[in-house]
Amino acid sequence: MTLTEDTQRLLNEDRLHSHSDRGLASLTPPNDHADIWRTNLSECGNLLRLDFEKDQQRFHQECVLGSRPAIITGVVEASNWRAAFWSDTKALVEQRGHLMFDVKAGVPISLEQYIEYTASNCADFPYYLAGRGDFKGQEALLDDFAVPEWFADDVYDWCDMTGRFRYFLCGGQRTGTNIHTDPLSTCAWNTSLFGHKRWVCFPPGNDDQYKAMLGASEEYQKTPPAYWFMDVYPFLKQNQEDLGMVEFIQRPGETVFVPAEWWHTVLNLDLTIAVTANHLLPSMLPAALKSFEHTSKFFGRMLRKELRKLTGRKREIVDQVVDVDSDSD
């Protein structure tokens, strides 16, 4: 099943995802930036690695309360995900290749067509395929994975006020996300089933000077993620210890945890297939409500209102960490 000429024409109309101004697809050694695509880069020494079956308490203390990124192993196996078959792209195409996605508004293509597209395009920032929220039209994917136990208690899911921050992601080499923080003071988990992702993370900070140094500008939000690695990353790498920068390669079967408010950028080094979600864990509520006092008082008040409606076990858990009847904490 190949893309039609009309579909390809519609995709090419979006210059951001069709241009190859820097010819990234053809970079080879000894080009200065060819090592961007290496999947065997050594990991940063301060990266925490956890075992899903053994380290839940350590995760809670060091990652959630201590605001520390980590790689978690064993999530897929312990959770008995059917998505384990995604590690075989032939099997994935056979079982899920017919599912349709809009990679561009009004331009639907199948998962099978997208995987074929990733093998042939030469754009600096190819289209990135995503299913999200309730996965309308792709509900079959929801049978393949579930929220890991560590993230089962999600305040936003309890309140049902923000939609569902869950995603299926399939991206070829050079796709990814520019540097950002996740919405509404959420943390995130990201499990890769196929391929390699290059991550760079930075501690929270919201002043303009810090954001400018990290390259979190409108300019780079409108450019291929790889350009950040070419233009901004070299300076930050020289100062990584002072900045608290954490970088690593995520490999198939690994789950990445990103704490709330941490800046991060992700570059897909080859064809990648992953699932990810954002959560507000109950123990994160005090910090989140405090943050909303400065960023969105209206949302903070609305969240408190919804929390007061909770009953039973959910209300008991919330009451252990925050007084939702007060105006501030």
pTM summary value: 0.95
d(CA 18, CA 274) in angstroms, rounded, equals 23
Burial 219-244 (b: 16+ CB within 10 A, else e): ebeebbbbbbbbebbeebeeebeebe
User: Can you give the pLDDT of all 329 residues of the chain as single tens digits?
Assistant: 688 889 999 999 999 999 999 999 999 877 888 889 988 876 556 789 999 999 999 999 999 999 999 999 999 999 999 999 999 999 999 999 999 999 999 999 999 999 999 999 999 999 999 999 999 999 999 999 999 999 999 999 999 777 789 999 999 999 999 999 999 999 999 999 999 999 999 999 999 999 999 999 888 788 999 999 999 999 999 999 999 999 999 999 999 999 999 999 999 999 999 999 999 999 999 999 999 999 999 999 999 999 999 999 999 999 999 998 876 55
Residue 279: Cβ within 10 Å count: 24
Where, residue-wise, is CATH 2.60.120.650 in the chain? 5-18+41-284
Residue type (1 letter), 226: A
5-18+41-284 CATH pick, 2.60.120.650, 1.20.810.10, 1.10.10.10, 1.10.3720.10: 2.60.120.650
